[in-house]
Amino acid sequence: MPFTWSGRATQTLSATALSALLLASAMKHFREPAFFYQVVPDFLCCDDSGARPNGPYAVMTRDEWVALSGLLEAGAAVGLLIPATRQPVAWGVTAMFTAFVAGHADALRRAYGPAGTPGQRKVHTARLPLQVPLILWAWSLRKPFRPAGTRCVPGAGQ
């Protein structure tokens, strides 16, 4: 029996691939947290003692923000694999990637500032635009798969 590639299979493969990417990123958050330090805006961070905030939104240290985002990515990776949770998780991942734009923009701003290095400029110049395809990828998974020609009619089948 030949295999026919369906829209459902495409969506499942796409969700699995994004899940794998999120899981790899989550693991990196815990193996190499310093890699993510520059994309956590200063105004969100208390100093390491947690005693002196850098801004009114500073509620956690940079390490805690990195760990929290790693946990969110790991949870999202699992949620995307479960068809029943895929839709709300895809909305959440879209929002998460969109929120990350602020951190990437701040890191890019600092990279081109007086303390920035050529390496930081290259990395952050590449990282910021990569958020766009990630946002669109997560956005594409937010609707449940429906075969072509079917409609969702409220109250149908009751």
Q: Which three-class secondary structure state does DSSP give residue 145?
A: coil
pLDDT value of position 53? 62
Place of tokens 């993510």: 36
Domain boundaries, the chain: 8-140
Can you give the pLDDT of all 158 residues of the chain as single tens digits?
566 667 788 899 999 999 999 999 999 999 999 999 999 988 888 876 655 666 677 888 899 999 999 999 999 999 999 999 999 999 999 999 999 999 999 999 999 999 999 999 999 999 899 999 999 999 999 887 665 555 655 555 54
| Alpha-carbon gap, residue 112 to 106, rounded angstroms | 10
pLDDT value of position 21? 97
